Amino acid sequence: MSEAENDRAERVTAEHLMLSLLRAPAVTASLLADSGVLPEDVRDEFAQARRRAGLTQSEVDALSGLGIDLPSIVSRIEATHGPDALAAPKRRRPHLPGSHIPFADEAKNILTNALVQAKENRDRHISDHHFLLAMAAAPGVPAQILAEHGLTYTAVLRHFAKAG
């Protein structure tokens, strides 16, 4: 995964998978670009989620509805413990071209769900649109980013059904 290699990341994450889709020369990249999904927005939204201990904006809004002011809590924690105190430490691995980078659990789930999408569509291989469907189907930051741009699971499924 070139995105993970470029970040010198310890693991391939959902963020890396999503960024790879944006850069791929495929129909999926066009759909994402036409919908206004930009690499810098993806990186920013994942950074914000890491700052919130991985919570999506929808989860923050739900907590707010219960009277929990998460932005205030995060600010107080960061005032005491420093910026990004709730984020998992970002480990950098030595750059070893061609070496295997393991997948984080969230990325493994996307891979598994992409396989499910391919099987449900009776496709004989997994392609980029299966990854996009998998991201749109599962709760989390990728689905939130996609939904903010009108790319819900149903919308993505409809798009690829039309594209045939």
Residue 94 confidence (pLDDT): 59
End-to-end CA distance of the chain: 28
Residue 42 confidence (pLDDT): 93
Task: Estimate the share of the chain in helix, then strand, then coil, as percent rounded to the nearest 5.
Answer: 65, 0, 35
In this prediction, the residues of the chain whose per-residue pLDDT falls under 70 are 1, 88-98, 164
Residue 133 confidence (pLDDT): 96
Residue 36 confidence (pLDDT): 95
Helix residue ranges, H only, 13-127 = 14-23, 27-34, 39-51, 57-65, 70-81, 105-120
Residue 131 confidence (pLDDT): 95
Global model pTM greater than 0.85: no
Residue 27 confidence (pLDDT): 82
Residue 72 confidence (pLDDT): 87
